[in-house]
Every structure is written in structure tokens, then in C-alpha cells.
């Protein structure tokens, strides 16, 4: 319990500032939604100046005032992946790699606290922070839009927030495992960051050229589809399960590896 309270204190500033950023951005976009909707014709004409493949890469596959396309374009396609990756890298590498590098790790492990308990406390903190951020970005957008007279579907946006949450947890789980394996925050962050960029590049390529559509499933963006979820109520059960399995597998493997890891290696 002491380790968990410590993790919450250490995560507090990061959670607050990132939550303020995403909630503020979401609120701004929510407040702008009526403007976009009132200028559908103008926006559609402007979008026609870009290649369809380019627009598809950013989720702009129709009218921007469509709730699902609106959320995907301004939140799902770039903002949330960036914020989730940043949180995953900072939190997922801190408990082992960063603390070992700073010489702090020896202190908690010199107490009766087990390695399992120490890393589990960090993982629970990761889950809490990721949940706070997912709620902040969706709630900020929804509340601001409602204040301007637009009430989006609560269930659809809630599910979009839940999908965002498990997406972020998958990144955090993979980062935590790599942090234990490498004992290096720089290498872990470099690998995870590189993989995220590569997956986005794959997604863009599959949108630009349908000949490459067969490789789309290897990209996380292909499983982070919020437009049909919000607009049509299509719940991507497989995608939810995939992200959840990656997160849990990463965290459990990290705990097992940390228990057997030679920290002097």
C-alpha cells in the first residue's frame, strides 16, 4: 500500500498536466463543433482540394460535422495516440529503468517490499493515469459541445473513451516489459516510439494504396476505429480484446521478468 501511495504521488503532476492539456483541447474542439456544422458546404469544398487518400489517413472520410468522423479526425487519429504514447513511455519506464538509472531502485527493494509488489503498484498507477486521461479528453469534448447546444451520443463517446483507454494500456504494457528487459529508459522509449511511428506509417500507406491493404492489421490504427463505433454503434469486440490482451500480457510478463532480472547486468 505504501508503494502504491508513492506511485500515485509520483504520477500526480504528470496526470494533472496531461489531463489539463487533453481536456482543454477537447473542450476547444467541442466548442468549435457548431461552427464546423454550420459550414458543412464550405468545409466539404475545401476538403475536395486534397487527395482522398490523404484525407483517409487522418480519418477525414466524410463530412467533418459527422460525430464519428469529427472525433476520429481531431482526437483519435493523432492527439490521443501522442498523449497515450507519452504517458506510456514516462510511466512504463519509470519504475524499473529510470529508477535504476537514478539509483532509487535499491531503496524500495531493500525493504520487505517484494519486487512483484513494487512493480504492480506502478502498473496500477499506469492504469489509473491512462483512465484519467481517456475520461478527460472525451468528457472535455462532450461537455463543451453540450454547452454550445450539441449533445453527442453518450454511449458512443463512452465506448470511444474505453477503446482509447485500452489502446493506451496496450502501449503501457509493452513499454513496461521492454523497460524490464533492457533496463534502459532511452532504449525502451526509442523502440516503442519507433514502433508507434512505423505503425502509423503503415496505416497511411494502406490508405494511400489499396494494394497494401493486406498489411493494415499490423497497425494499431487499424484496430483503433472510433468512427463506426460512434456513428453506427459497431462495438469492435476483437479490437477491445486485442488491446486488453497485449496490455495484460505485457504487464504480467514484466512482473515475471522483474522477479528474475539481474539488475546488475
pLDDT at 30 over 80: yes
pLDDT at 57 over 70: no
Beta carbons within 8 Å of 65's beta carbon, 6+ residues apart? 33, 36, 37, 40, 43
Judge whether 225 and 239 are in contact, CB under 8 Å.
Answer: yes
Give the model's pLDDT for residue 53. 66
Range with the lowest mean pLDDT among 3-7, 16-20, 94-98?
Answer: 3-7
Give residue-wise pLDDT tens across range 138-197.
999 999 999 998 889 999 999 999 999 999 999 999 999 999 999 999 999 999 999 999
Q: Residue 151's CB: how many other CB atoms inside 10 A? A: 8
Higher pLDDT, 115 or 57: 115
Nearest to 18 by CA among 122, 88, 69: 88
Question: Is the pTM here over 0.85, yes or no?
Answer: yes
Indicate the burial class of 194 (C-beta count within 10 angstroms; 0-12, 13-18, 19 or more): exposed
Q: From the centroid of its chain, how far is CA 123? A: 15
pLDDT more than 70, % of the chain: 92
Give the model's pLDDT for residue 204. 84
Higher pLDDT, 252 or 262: 252
Beta carbons within 8 Å of 167's beta carbon, 6+ residues apart? 80, 81, 84, 220, 224, 243
Q: Residue 147's CB: how many other CB atoms inside 10 A? A: 11
Q: What is the CA radius of gyration of the chain?
A: 20
Dihedral pair phi/psi, residue 135, rounded to 5°? -65, -40
pLDDT at 24 over 80: yes
Higher pLDDT, 263 or 188: 188
Judge whether 257 and 177 are in contact, CB under 8 Å.
Answer: yes
What is the 3-class SS of 132-153, one letter each residue?
A: HHHHHHHHHHHHHHHHCCCCCC
How much is the mean pLDDT over the chain? 88
**Alpha-carbon distance 196 to 176, whole Å?**
15
Give residue-wise pLDDT tens across range 66-98.
888 889 888 988 899 999 999 999 999 998 888
pLDDT at 56 over 70: no
User: How long a stretch of residues is the chain?
Assistant: 265
Judge whether 44 and 63 are in contact, CB under 8 Å.
Answer: yes
Give mean pLDDT, residues 118-122: 92
63 three-state secondary structure: coil
Nearest to 223 by CA among 209, 207, 205, 237: 237
**Alpha-carbon distance 196 to 173, whole Å?**
14
**Alpha-carbon distance 50 to 207, whole Å?**
14
pLDDT at 210 over 70: yes
Q: Where are the domains of the chain?
A: 2-260
**Alpha-carbon distance 230 to 103, whole Å?**
47
Give the model's pLDDT for residue 59. 62
Amino acid at each position: 500500500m505504501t508503494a502504491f501511495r508513492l506511485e500515485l504521488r509520483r504520477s500526480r503532476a504528470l496526470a494533472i498536466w496531461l489531463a489539463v492539456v487533453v481536456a482543454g483541447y477537447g473542450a476547444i474542439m467541442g466548442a468549435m463543433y457548431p461552427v464546423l456544422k454550420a459550414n458543412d458546404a464550405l468545409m466539404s469544398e475545401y476538403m475536395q482540394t486534397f487527395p482522398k487518400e490523404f484525407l483517409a489517413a487522418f480519418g477525414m472520410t466524410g463530412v467533418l460535422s459527422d460525430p464519428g468522423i469529427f472525433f476520429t479526425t481531431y482526437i483519435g487519429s493523432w492527439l490521443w495516440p501522442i498523449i497515450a504514447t507519452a504517458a506510456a513511455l514516462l510511466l512504463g519506464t519509470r519504475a524499473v529503468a529510470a529508477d535504476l538509472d537514478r539509483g532509487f531502485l535499491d531503496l524500495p527493494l531493500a525493504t520487505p517490499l517484494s519486487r512483484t509488489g513494487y512493480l504492480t503498484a506502478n502498473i496500477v498507477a499506469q492504469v489509473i493515469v491512462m483512465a484519467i486521461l481517456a475520461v478527460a479528453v472525451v468528457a472535455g469534448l462532450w461537455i463543451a459541445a453540450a454547452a454550445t447546444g450539441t449533445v453527442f451520443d453518450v454511449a458512443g463517446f463512452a465506448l470511444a473513451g474505453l477503446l482509447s483507454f485500452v489502446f493506451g494500456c496496450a502501449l503501457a504494457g509493452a513499454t513496461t516489459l521492454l523497460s524490464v528487459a533492457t533496463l534502459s529508459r532511452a532504449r525502451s522509449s526509442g523502440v516503442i516510439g519507433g514502433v508507434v511511428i512505423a505503425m502509423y506509417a503503415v496505416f497511411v500507406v494502406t490508405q494511400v494504396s489499396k494494394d497494401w491493404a493486406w498489411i493494415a492489421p499490423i497497425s494499431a490504427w487499424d484496430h483503433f476505429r472510433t468512427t463506426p463505433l460512434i456513428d453506427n454503434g459497431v462495438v469492435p469486440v476483437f479490437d477491445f480484446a486485442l488491446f486488453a490482451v497485449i496490455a495484460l500480457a505485457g504487464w504480467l510478463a514484466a512482473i515475471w521478468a522483474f522477479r528474475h532480472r539481474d539488475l546488475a547486468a
